Every structure is written in C-alpha cells, then in structure tokens.
Amino acid sequence: MKPLRILVLGGYGNFGARIVRSMAQDAGIQLVVGGRDAQRATALAQATGPAIEALRVDAADADLPSVLRRHGIGLVIHTAGPFQAQGYGVALACAQAGCHYTDLADGRRFVCDFPVALHEHFLRAGRTAISGASTVPALSSAVVDHLTKGWQGIHTVDICIAPAQTAPRGVATLEAVLGYCGAPIPVWRDGQWVQAYGWETPCRETFARMPPRLGALCDVPDLEIFPLHYRVRNRVMFHAALEVPLSQKAFAWIAKVRRWGWLRQPQRLAPWLHRFAPLFDRWGSALGGMVVRVGGLDAQGVARTAAWHISADHDHGPEIPTMPALLFARRLARGADLPLGAHTATGLLSLGDFQGEFARWGMVTDEEVNHAGA
C-alpha cells in the first residue's frame, strides 16, 4: 500500500511537534511538517528523522488546494490554533484538493458548526473530515460511552481537566482560554439552557491520584454537543482546574474585570501570562490529569454514578490532546474506513482505542462505580 502523506499544519508548535514525533516511526505514513516558518519546520524535520519532510505553507493562502495536490497530501492534521476565531478555509482547501482533514480544535462554535458547514463538500470529495480530534470531544465522549454503556438514561455529565503546572504551554492555548474568560457561556443546567460565565466562581474538584484543586467553567464543544447527543436530563458541565490556586483565582479575577467592562480583550494578556507562568512552577508539579463523572439509570434502572480518572506524570499531559488525531491518522494509513463527510469527533473512538497511547506514556487510569442518586 502506498504510504499516506500527512501534512501536520503547525507541525512545529506545542501539539503539532508532539504529533510529528509520535508518528515519526509509523509504517505506512510519510510525514510533512508544515507552517509559515520554513526554518522551524526544517529544524524539526531534520531533528526527528531523515524521512520527515518540511514545507513552508500558509493556512490562509488562497492557493492552498493546489499546494496540497502538488505535494500529494492525503491527510492534513490542523494543529495551528487557536480555533475560536478561525474559519474553515483549511478544511475547504482539503475538500477541494481531495484529501482528508482532521484538527485539534476545542473551540465551541468551530467544532459544533463544522458538520453543517462542510459535510456536503467532503461527501462530494469522497473524503473524511473530523473536527475536535482532541481531548474534547473525542476522548471525553469515548469515556462517557464507556461509563454509560447499556444505561437507560444519563442525568449528569461533569468533566474536569487538570493540567500540570510545569507542563509546556503555548500562547495559542492561553489565547483560546482567555477568549472566553468572563464571557457568557450557555450551559445545560437543571434541564434547561442557562447563562454562566467563563472562569468565574472557582469550586473544589477532586481526583483519584492528585490533591483537590479549584476548577472553573470553560467553554468547550461538549457543553453543546452532549446534552443532545446523550439526551442528558439535568446537567452537562466542564471545568478546568489549575494546579496553583493563585493562578486559578487570577483567572477568576480577569473574568470579573472583563464583566465590569474594564478589560474587553483579555486574550491580549496571553503573551504576558505565558512569559510569567513559569514563576509559579515552584508551587506546582509535573502531574496532571482529567476526570469524567456521570450519573443516571443503569441497565436495570438503578440510580448509579460512575467516574473515570486519568493521571499523567512527568509533564506528559499535553500528549493527551494529540491522541485522537494520531488514532484517526493511523486508521487512514491502514486503509480502515472512516465515515465520509464532515463530522465532530464525538463517539468516533472507543476508550479501548486509547489504551496503547496511555500505556506508552505511563498514564494511569481509575474507575469508580456507585449506586447512588444522580
């Protein structure tokens, strides 16, 4: 079988470089590191392996479809965020060029509107496009599917991501987070849509293998996708819990300042926060993780709660958002079928699909199941 040529767009960035390194030895894949900075792309390609290529490519280039065709690209993995303010130009270019597409987007509107905007384009091209091939909603939905298999009804879904303080972080990630800091966010609570505010009102979160942390509301696709996809009766919530309490409280303060009208674009603080965040590393660690909690009625109609935890030490937590894109890419390289058209990553992977990657990075998972009111 001819190797699948994969362009990792933004391939020298925080997540793109992890994908490149993870797939460097994969048989049946020919990697191309792409981005606007040819020097950085070349440096990573040369440092990773002799078969890795580099390509200067601009995601905003009107000639992108012909560039993809000229270089024989079969799949584009788009990692050049933040996605909150992006359009679908890269995905459209892939459809026009006749290649597959996936991204690491966690922007709510970007992911949720993706299928409607692009499904017909990819159907006509006979190709697959998947948005949200990241922790959310790809992994989060795999966990919910696992925990609630056979259940008669799901009443609550609560998710919390807890990054390690010392884990590498990118400016684009901070821009995305700050973009909804203090902004109104529609959430499904008490069986109806209500308005809450990003990063306000921190609350206590607990984990299987980490000390408790303060967590606060973040805007992710799951908040909109899960209530309908899983017919959740009462609540869907997503929090992020920073390791250093002062950092969490700082984001809450930024949220309030934005609501008071004193800070209209908090994302402009991203470069400064990125620069000064390491000053707090002495109070943090290299341990991060995630927890997904569900409540509802099991197969026998008994009220039940269940939880799944993952702990990632040694600053390996940022590998998790790259795993779904890796899994999709390897499937395509093997010639496995993926649904044609444009889709979110919701429900396209099982939790079992991730086990090899979890083991590779020494990540530990725990499950809890209880009979209780949800």
Q: CA–CA separation, 257 vs 363, rounded Å?
A: 38
Q: Which residues contact 212 (CB under 8 A, 6 or more apart)?
A: 204, 205, 206
Task: Convert the pLDDT of each residue in 134-181 to its tens digit.
Answer: 999 999 999 999 999 999 999 999 999 999 988 877 777 777 778 788
Question: Looking at the predicted structure, is the pLDDT value of residue 374 above 50?
Answer: no
N residues, the chain: 374
Residue 45, judged by CB atoms within 10 A of its CB (0-12, 13-18, 19+), counts as buried
- Which residues share a beta bridge with 290? 161, 310
Query: Would you give the end-to-end CA distance of the chain in angstroms?
Result: 50
Of 244, 246, 266, the residue nearest 254 (C-alpha)? 266
Superfamily of domain 4-134+318-355: NAD(P)-binding Rossmann-like Domain (3.40.50.720)
- Tell whether pTM > 0.75: yes
Q: Quote the tokens at residue 289.
A: 């993780």
pLDDT band at 372 (very low <50, low <70, confident <90, very high): low
Residue holding tokens 């684009």? Answer: 172
Q: Which residues contact 99 (CB under 8 A, 6 or more apart)?
A: 68, 73, 74, 75, 76, 127
In CATH, what is the architecture of 136-317+363-371? 2-Layer Sandwich (3.30)
Q: Quote the tokens at residue 298.
A: 């099991």
Is residue 162 within 8 A of residue 172, CB to CB? The reply is no
Strand pairing of 288-297 and 303-312?
antiparallel
Indicate the domain borders of the chain: 4-134+318-355, 136-317+363-371
Q: Quote the tokens at residue 3.
A: 């190797």
Q: CA–CA separation, 28 vs 333, rounded Å?
A: 6
Task: Convert the pLDDT of each residue in 245-290 to its tens digit.
Answer: 888 888 888 888 888 888 778 777 777 777 777 777 888 899 999 9
